[in-house]
Amino acid sequence: MAMNASNKGGAAQQSDPNSFAASVKDAAIAGLLVAVLGFFFIGIRTDIAPGGLDLKMRWGAWIISILVVFAGRLLLNLFVLKTDSPLTQKIAGAMPSGSRFAGTGKWLMRALFAFALVLPFFFTTFFPGKDRQFIDLAILIMTYIMLGWGLNIVVGLAGLLDLGYVAFYAVGAYSFALLAQYLDIGFWFALPLAGILAACWGIVLGFPVLRLRGDYLAIVTLAFGEIIRVVLLNWYEFTNGPDGISGIPKPTFFGLELKRGEGGFADFFGIAYDPIQRFIFLYYIIFILALITNFVTMRLRRLPIGRAWEALREDEIACRSLGINTRNTKLTAFSIGAMFGGFAGSFFATRQGFISPESFTFLESAIILAIVVLGGLGSQVGVVIASIVMIGGIEMLRNLGFLQQVFGSGFDPVQYRMLIFGLAMVLIMVWKPRGLISTREPSVVLKEKKRIGADMVAQGEGH
């Protein structure tokens, strides 16, 4: 038993670390910690009252939170952390192992693709009451998949850690909104312009940070993202500041507007008008845009420039000594990534019909980066899975109305969205630091394709 414990590299204590007493002690420490941490936040609430602030004591909630953590930690200790046969091992044994999963990965991708292709009709047929809501959610997830794929070029392939990606999203959205407002340009004409403008901004913002690496690069890109947001917020005459821009035109189907009555899409094709048609149309636009992003990325990976990106990620100095122009390589990664961000931005503007700087905060950058990293840097499928899990899972909280019957009517699960999102980020990263899909497909192969383990890839350390 003692041998076993030391083999597992457990805490070096004289007493048996796997005993029940040790588990209880550990859980008690966790409970005590929550008691300390929660005292001023769960136990006490300050509220604005007439004549200053008022204190409210909530001892019940405080004690419950301590007990919940104590019980949770105890169960975790008994069944997973401090036991000779962790439950997770049994589950992992029952599940298909990583290599077997990799074989099914291609089929999974095809199945996902086929489902995405027929998704709107699937929902209108099987969930006629909720189809609008589900298609809207699919549009949202697809937008994040596209943004994730765009950022994947910068972070996953070229290894440049960009925390200000939302800036290009904002540039794309505002380009289209302002072009439509001042020059009366429609969506399809503005889309390439927005992409080009975003790409230009990618070069403008990429140029000064060429020498930076790693965390420093991350923090400067964050600063750039915030600068763009603050400028959009304060340049009232041009961007309408915090009030945002509304009345952004909807996309047309080869000149046909998706509206009721004469001259609309439904009228032209002689079918009955249904507001859902607009959602289906929007879904296919973002679906095609996302596919283009993926296709371009996959093709670029095979071109010299794509290989240069990956070489840059692995070792910048080796790259330079082999004669690769690192400046141009970095700038193309920045600008192409930014271009797809710009496309996604103008789609966002046309979908919402209204944009304001509030939609482009640092949190949005963090979410996109989280999707890329949690999916597994450089993995296209990983981005899809991470988007579905993180965005879809979080949005599903809106449908948990039944929890109100359990916790009382004051309980609003939507409030907990971002809290759960943050916790999920921490937990998934601790569980799988290399992301959900951690093996890589080599872009150039000799004779046979071998899978590359994640530990062999430098990925995104900003070298």
Give residue 423's Cα distance to chain centre: 14
DSSP character string of 86-99: -HHHHHHHHSPPHH
Q: Give 40 or 295: the residue with its C-beta nearer to other proteins.
A: 40
The CB-of-51 to other proteins minimum distance in angstroms stands at: 10
DSSP character string of 290-317: HHHHHHHHHHHHHSHHHHHHHHHHH-HH
Q: Give 17 or 251: the residue with its C-beta nearer to other proteins.
A: 17
- Burial-class residue 417 by CB neighbours within 10 Å (0-12, 13-18, 19+): middle
* Piece of the chain touching other proteins by CB under 8 A; list 80-88, 138-146, 180-188, 412-420: 412-420
**β-strands 52-57, 354-355: how paired?**
unpaired
Site string for other proteins, 198-237 (x = CB under 8 A): ----------xx-xx-xxx-xxx-xxx-xx--xx-xx---
* Residues numbered 266-325 forming contacts with other proteins, rule: CB under 8 A: 317
* Residues numbered 133-162 forming contacts with other proteins, rule: CB under 8 A: 161
Query: What's phi and psi for 48, nearest 5 deg?
Result: -75, 125
Helix axis angle, 59-76 to 20-38, nearest 10°: 150
Q: Give 72 or 214: the residue with its C-beta nearer to other proteins.
A: 214
DSSP 82: T
Taking CB under 8 A as the rule, does residue 395 contact other proteins? no
Q: Give 150 or 460: the residue with its C-beta nearer to other proteins.
A: 460
Taking CB under 8 A as the rule, does residue 68 contact other proteins? no
Instruction: State the DSSP H helix or E strand holding residue 282, giving kind and residue range, or none if neither.
Output: helix 276-302
The CB-of-449 to other proteins minimum distance in angstroms stands at: 24
Taking CB under 8 A as the rule, does residue 422 contact other proteins? yes
Q: Give 45 or 302: the residue with its C-beta nearer to other proteins.
A: 45
The CB-of-67 to other proteins minimum distance in angstroms stands at: 17
Q: Give the span between the Cα atoms of 259 and 250, in whole angstroms.
A: 10
CB 345 within 8 A of CB 175: yes
Q: Give 152 or 350: the residue with its C-beta nearer to other proteins.
A: 152
Site string for other proteins, 70-109 (x = CB under 8 A): ----------------------------------------
* Residues numbered 424-463 forming contacts with other proteins, rule: CB under 8 A: 424-426, 429-430, 433-434, 458-462
Q: Give the span between the Cα atoms of 89 and 92, in whole angstroms.
A: 5
Q: Give the span between the Cα atoms of 282 and 277, in whole angstroms.
A: 9
- Tokens matching residue 97: 């192992």
Select from 31, 421, 436, 440 the one that contacts other proteins (CB under 8 A). Answer: 421
* Piece of the chain touching other proteins by CB under 8 A; list 41-49, 85-93, 111-119, 260-268: 41-49
Q: Give the span between the Cα atoms of 233 and 219, in whole angstroms.
A: 21
- Burial-class residue 248 by CB neighbours within 10 Å (0-12, 13-18, 19+): buried
Select from 20, 40, 101, 295 the one that contacts other proteins (CB under 8 A). Answer: 40
SS3 436: coil
Select from 15, 19, 29, 45 the one that contacts other proteins (CB under 8 A). Answer: 45
Radius of gyration of the chain (CA): 25
Q: Give 257 or 314: the residue with its C-beta nearer to other proteins.
A: 314
Give the total of residues touching other proteins (CB under 8 A).
Answer: 63
Taking CB under 8 A as the rule, does residue 52 contact other proteins? yes
DSSP 155: I
Q: Give the span between the Cα atoms of 215 and 234, in whole angstroms.
A: 29
* Piece of the chain touching other proteins by CB under 8 A; list 32-40, 107-115, 123-131, 380-388: 32-40
Of residues 201, 226, 140, the one with CA closest to residue 342: 201
Select from 370, 385, 390, 391 the one that contacts other proteins (CB under 8 A). Answer: 370
Residues lying near other proteins in the complex (CB under 8 A): 33, 36-37, 39-42, 44-48, 52-53, 55, 161, 208-209, 211-212, 214-216, 218-220, 222-224, 226-227, 230-231, 233-234, 317, 362-363, 366, 369-370, 373-374, 377, 415-416, 418-419, 421-426, 429-430, 433-434, 458-462
